[in-house]
Structure 1
């Protein structure tokens, strides 16, 4: 038991070795966002993510239209042990030249599909949050019930239909620390109030 505790402590007390320092990551964020320019470098969602297009066909079309480069594509393993081929990075939903939401994922094509076609509040989180706003406008009060009891079809489905009509910009980012930090930076700089960084 003593050996177990000693090994456990040694493991817990070891220091993380990051590939990049905090300052080296964040120092170029202003230039990175200016270069990314999501408003002027976004694409029409319906053109790529319409019903009937699967992950592979969407990826192929995004590659052929130079939205992504071949080196952006990689394969990762899901928690269920399945291999998925996608792009790790950041995405921004844009409505009429106004960014409305910033998200990150290790599979941004699949994550976008979830926002648009997900069957629950856990997958279509952006549409769910827009559905909550819709509910408040219609009912004059905030929804206070349980998430899974929220009327998905009447509130979230119209929100998904709305998202299909929007544009989206993608930015591949391989470094995880940079990805997380840049999401917060972009959300704050672009004024995307739908992004919440509160703890639960």
Structure 2
């Protein structure tokens, strides 16, 4: 039986999350699409995390949700306790966990340096990412962050999100 009571470790009831908080957060998230940053403007050559944080007028990195936008379409939504750090890994990382979107773009576009062994051409896919836009929103509640990530992925039909690694 599902009840409307607040469970341990949850700040709100299921009904509050699904009927109030997530729809409101999604509307704010959608409103940021037109104000998204060009990835290359934030993470271009010589741009480290500290300089990006300063450029954004912040004192430190922050917890939140982010999205990559390609040709006006949200293609990937993620969450992190350090959003700028996580975005840096998408752009500058090399493992499939660090640069998840780059690896998925390689599979989608058949971009490999070694097709037989499926070694992705991360240089090409990272250039693709650098030509995208990115938006992010601070969300301090871990429950809201994770729910909003999934809710947004479903809303935008993000084909590059997989949740097998979420534990």
Q: Match of 1:132, SS?
A: helix
**Equivalent residue number for residue 182 of structure 1:** 148
Aligned position for 1:82: none
2:153 & 2:136 partners in 1: Cα distance? 14
Contact 2:62 2:84 in 1 (8 A): yes
Question: TM (normalized to structure 1)?
Answer: 0.70
1:34 aligns with: 27
Q: When the two structures are superposed, what TM-score results if normalisation uses the length of structure 2?
A: 0.83
Structure 1 residue 40: Cα displacement: 1.5
What do the CA deviations read for 1:29-55 (whole angstroms, capped 9, x no partner)? 223212222421311111111121111
The structure number with the bigger radius of gyration is 1
Q: Give the Cα separation in 2 of the matches to 1:105 and 1:53.
A: 20
* SS of structure 2 residue aligned to 1:169: strand
Specify the alignment match of 1:106 in structure 2: 81
Equivalent of 2:119, from 137, 145, 151? 151
Q: 1:100/1:122 Cα in 2 relative to 1: closer, same or farther (>3 Å)?
A: same
Distance in structure 1 (CA, Å) of the matches to 2:29 and 2:126 = 25
Measured in 2, the distance between the counterparts of 1:135 and 1:36 equals 31
> Deviation at 1:120?
2.1
Preserved contact between residue 113 and residue 119 of structure 2 (Cα < 8 Å): no
Q: What is the SS of the residue equivalent to 2:75?
A: strand
Give the structure 2 partner of residue 94 of structure 1. 69
Shift of 1:138: 10
Q: Which runs of 5 or more residues in structure 2 are unaligned?
A: 1-6
Return the alpha-carbon distance in structure 1 between the equivalents of residues 125 and 25 of structure 2.
Answer: 30
Q: Return the match for 1:59 from 36, 53, 56.
A: 53
Give me the CA root mean square deviation.
Answer: 2.6
2:68 aligned counterpart, secondary structure = strand
Aligned length: 158
Distance in structure 1 (CA, Å) of the matches to 2:48 and 2:99:
17
What are the ranges of 5 or more consecutive residues in structure 1 without an aligned counterpart? 1-14, 64-69, 74-84
Residues 112 and 119, structure 2, Cα contact 8 Å, conserved in 1 = no
